[in-house]
Structure 1
Amino acid sequence: MSNQSSSAASGGWLSRQRTVAGPGFNRWIVPPAALCVHLCIGQVYAFSVFNKPLSLLIGGTEQAPADWSIASIGWIFSIAILFLGLAAAFGGAWVERVGPRKTMVTAAALFGGGFVISAFGVWSHQLWLIFLGYGVLGGCGIGLGYISPVKTLMSWFPDRPGMATGMAIMGFGGGAFIASPLSVFLMGQFGVGGAFLALGIIYIVYMLVGATIVRVPAKDWKPAGWTPPKKTNRMVTNANVHVDEALKTPQFWLLWGVLLLNVTAGIGVLGQASLMIQEMFPPITDASGLVTGGITAAAAAGFVGLLSLFNMAGRFFWASTSDFIGRKTTYAIFFALGVVLYALVPTTGNMGSIALFILAYAVIISMYGGGFATIPAYLRDVFGTQYVGAIHGRLLTAWSVAGVLGPVLVNYIREFQISSGVAPADAYTVTMYIMAGLLAVGFVLNLMMSPVSEKHHMQAEPATA
């Protein structure tokens, strides 16, 4: 007992031991702790609101002509997504060892500090500082913050692991819904550099709140009155697979491909949603110039906001649903329904049906978000609970690849189509059919999933620090 107390004391406030919950702790406090982090790092999906203001900066003041091109500024987001995946992959084992509190504090320092460094990049007019600040450091903060609560939540909710991760990852989808208007307001008050500085401070504070209240369950804790159910789904294992051994299994790479294809299809169109709906349904004006139909820029912005809500709601809905119908079935729905909806999008444009177009994309984006929220529970089912956080981190490299592949496919195919004389309204037809094809491949990969061979199971689990 004295050795245990000494260990906790030597580790300090950030140690894993100091986060172990005492008797009577309410597990429903943990999801808000995770949300404190995910609502902050979800800002990455709203970074595009800074693109035009950054392009108008010369020497730290807003002028014209621009000397930072939109193309060069676009690399800020791409670098952040790349380092998100790298940090999650290489930091996963460390996260398992040190626990959620130290990880959340580290994520707050990196993500918030990245904004502060970017503010100095704006004021000194050094784009490389923004690449370093928001891209490299901020991206690492996003990656560590993203995976920090995953295993903790599933440990607190063994009865509903999909719902648990869905609650937290829902926050990542909703982060942009908050960050977009907040960023615009702060830029109006303090300029781009001042907005970066203010956001950095705000996000550090809120992420530290999450780190303060997060707790991990005591060893062998179980919800009151809950007993592990008898195994009825052959895809759910009671064994554990070590993180390094997981990479040697075909199941890991099948799920890597599943996540890659689901995210590639969604993230490509998500980044071009506003432009796409305006080009497929251009505004129609009468002789007096009054808009009588089509989609205006303001309406397109509302469409993007609606997609953000479906992205957020889909993460909770689909992950919770997977607790009842299984992860493999849930992903089968994502891919099968996705193929139909992506193939339907060009038809809605030809029909001139804005309502059908919006409905199709709302469901598509809900499944895009749902894929992120369901994959941790899928990994838990297949590889066990012991190293699920680290395995999840390795799997998120698929997100990094998709973050580049999806936008490249959509943007360059559109550009090629228009340069070949295709009308803008029809420039997305080939892209949508390609995305449908990618989802069909994803359906096959998910269909190939089977339980991990017993030869990969751990015989004796090493004690965690």
Structure 2
Amino acid sequence: MAPLPVPGVLARSRSVAPPGWSRWLVPPAALAIHLAIGQAYAWSVFKPPLEDSLDLSGTASALPFQLAMVMLGLSAAFGGTLVERNGPRWAMAVSALCFCSGFLISALGAATGQYWLIVLGYGGVGGIGLGIGYISPVSTLLKWFPDRPGMATGIAIMGFGGGALIASPWSTQLLSTFGPGTSGIAQTFLVMGLVYAVFMTLGVLLIRVPADGWRPPGWKAPEGTSGAEGEGAGAPVTHQVSANSALRTPQFWLLWVVLCTNVTAGIGILEKAAPMIRDFFAGSATPISVTAAAGFVGLLSLANMLGRFTWSSTSDLVGRKNIYRLYLGVGMLMYLAISLMGDGSKLLFIACTAVLVSFYGGGFATIPAYLRDLFGTFQVGAIHGRLLTAWSTAGILGPLIVNAIADSAESAGRSGPDLYNLTFTIMIGVLLVGFVANELVRPVNKRHHEPSPEPSPAPEPAAGTGAEGTGTAGTAGARSQQPEEAAQ
């Protein structure tokens, strides 16, 4: 299928980097998109005012966020191949258009008191922007940083985790400035949509793709194949698997389970962060204020952001499978600690949830490199997009488990930690399933590999050069291969 017709400035051919262009300009371009769409993690700031203004339950106020996560996974799955064909600049432009339009539609919904428009705008249209924007720079970064794939994707994807660090206090300030009620919510949505449009456009204009055959100066791929097994990192990938073939491998579905369980365990906390900490310590001598709860959301965003860079960079040293053992295994211990001792110490509760959210973010940042190790870089963007359907599933499961159990417990007259203890126990079981799935990951069977291209025949030696071709023609032939060898 040919690439979609796109305006000239957005065409892939117009975004090829010229010689000497610094690859370190690519992460800032990716961050411009991811810091914007990372606002999704600050949704919990909007839950209380929406519930008060429109008389919604906690489960109902989670709908825009849940739909956004569903659309993120679906648009990433269906759009991954288009991103590969049309290039990251086109994808980033589509992301900006959808994401910012979602805010404007939501502003109209809040202004008119039509909650379904908020669900449609923020969750439906905006969710498409989330999915396309999330995957748009990933394969490009892997091509620019073959020597440090975990670090490269961690830099960009940490922006998605850090988006709430900006959006949470900003949203709180806007809501306070514009006043309570649907009018204030509408104006907040409007301002955020317009500002994000300007910010995301900077990333669209800055992004570049490497020229064919480009490699980092002086870099030579190390020997070995451990990276293909998902145990080591930094090793060259000597095989390539197409997106369609990847779907027929057990490795893809095992990683789908790994990602889904890791996300489910973290996203439930993020979606309900502000009301959760207030509920958990409502009966303490010093209850949590609205401002402090917003600060807690910002702190979790910081943990999410730092976890994406720190843990994914660590995976370049210890291997992808080992780092997921950390995410899933220690994550179970964190939930156990909260269940047993969390209500006795605010510091313990905050520390454990911050670690859990850092693992959640780290899992997202590490998964592209895990896919690269197992399937190669041939269609890693499309494979990554399809794997993000696990995020869609988790985006429903996580908030549903947390909100439904909390609403049910509240209806039964419970309060404080009793609203969440059953949820934390369930999350331990969820992470256990992911831990087992990660242990079952093995190298991809060779039958799924793409066939290697046939080598070009060697040139015939000129007469008089000898059997070894050491004359003029042989030297010229050797020189003609140097650029190709240097590109490798």
- Shared fold, TM over 0.5: yes
Does 2:306 match 1:306?
Answer: no
Does 2:245 match 1:245?
Answer: yes
Does 2:167 match 1:174?
Answer: no
Contact 2:44 2:274 in 1 (8 A): no
The residue number in structure 2 matching 1:13 is 9
* 1:417-428 matched pairs, under 5 angstroms: 417-419=409-411, 424-428=416-420
Q: Report the AA paired with residue 82 of structure 1.
A: V
The residue number in structure 2 matching 1:152 is 140
The residue number in structure 1 matching 2:97 is 109
Query: What is the CA-CA distance between 1:278 and the residue it aligns to?
Result: 3.5
Q: Report the AA paired with residue 181 of structure 1.
A: P
Q: 1:235 aligns with which of 229, 240, 248?
A: 229
The residue number in structure 2 matching 1:321 is 314
Q: 1:349 aligns with which of 325, 342, 348?
A: 342
- How many Å separate the matches in 2 of 1:271 and 1:339? 19
- How many Å separate the matches in 2 of 1:272 and 1:56? 16
Larger radius of gyration: 2
- How many Å separate the matches in 1 of 2:403 and 2:98? 31
* 1:73-84 matched pairs, under 5 angstroms: 73-84=61-72
The alignment partner of 1:241 has SS state of: coil
Q: Report the AA paired with residue 250 of structure 2.
A: P
Classify 1:126/1:357 alpha carbon distance in 2 versus 1 (closer, same or farther; 3 Å). closer
* 1:439-450 matched pairs, under 5 angstroms: 439-450=431-442
The residue number in structure 2 matching 1:458 is 450
- How many Å separate the matches in 2 of 1:374 and 1:424? 35
* 1:352-391 matched pairs, under 5 angstroms: 352-391=344-383
Structure 2 unaligned segments of length 5 or more: list them. Answer: 179-183, 231-236, 454-488
Does 2:45 match 1:53?
Answer: no
Query: What is the CA-CA distance between 1:244 and the residue it aligns to?
Result: 1.0
- How many Å separate the matches in 2 of 1:348 and 1:392? 38
Q: TM-score, normalised by structure 2?
A: 0.84
* 1:119-268 matched pairs, under 5 angstroms: 119-190=107-178, 191-233=184-226, 234-235=228-229, 237-268=237-268
- How many Å separate the matches in 2 of 1:221 and 1:442? 37
The alignment partner of 2:240 has SS state of: coil
- How many Å separate the matches in 2 of 1:69 and 1:425? 19
Q: TM-score, normalised by structure 1?
A: 0.88
- What per-residue deviation string (whole Å, max 9, x for no partner) do you get for residues 29-77 of structure 1? 00000000000001111123233434555xxxxxxxx466665443222
Classify 1:134/1:451 alpha carbon distance in 2 versus 1 (closer, same or farther; 3 Å). same
Larger CA deviation: 191-200 vs 77-86: 191-200
Larger CA deviation: 425-434 vs 194-203: 425-434
Classify 1:126/1:432 alpha carbon distance in 2 versus 1 (closer, same or farther; 3 Å). closer
Classify 1:431/1:388 alpha carbon distance in 2 versus 1 (closer, same or farther; 3 Å). same
Contact 2:71 2:127 in 1 (8 A): yes
Query: What is the CA-CA distance between 1:406 and the residue it aligns to?
Result: 1.0
Structure 1 unaligned segments of length 5 or more: list them. Answer: 1-6, 58-65, 286-292
The alignment partner of 2:229 has SS state of: coil
Query: What is the CA-CA distance between 1:225 and the residue it aligns to?
Result: 0.9
Classify 1:424/1:332 alpha carbon distance in 2 versus 1 (closer, same or farther; 3 Å). same
- How many Å separate the matches in 1 of 2:399 and 2:25? 37
Contact 1:348 1:354 in 2 (8 A): no
- How many Å separate the matches in 1 of 2:167 and 2:219? 39
The residue number in structure 2 matching 1:413 is 405
- How many Å separate the matches in 2 of 1:127 and 1:436? 34
- How many Å separate the matches in 1 of 2:6 and 2:70? 35
The alignment partner of 1:166 has SS state of: helix
Query: What is the CA-CA distance between 1:367 and the residue it aligns to?
Result: 0.5
- How many Å separate the matches in 2 of 1:49 and 1:450? 42
Query: What is the CA-CA distance between 1:81 and the residue it aligns to?
Result: 1.3
Query: What is the CA-CA distance between 1:186 and the residue it aligns to?
Result: 3.1
The alignment partner of 2:238 has SS state of: coil
Contact 1:283 1:296 in 2 (8 A): no
The residue number in structure 2 matching 1:398 is 390
- How many Å separate the matches in 2 of 1:53 and 1:10? 41
- How many Å separate the matches in 2 of 1:268 and 1:379? 25
- Tell me how many residue pairs correspond in the alignment: 438
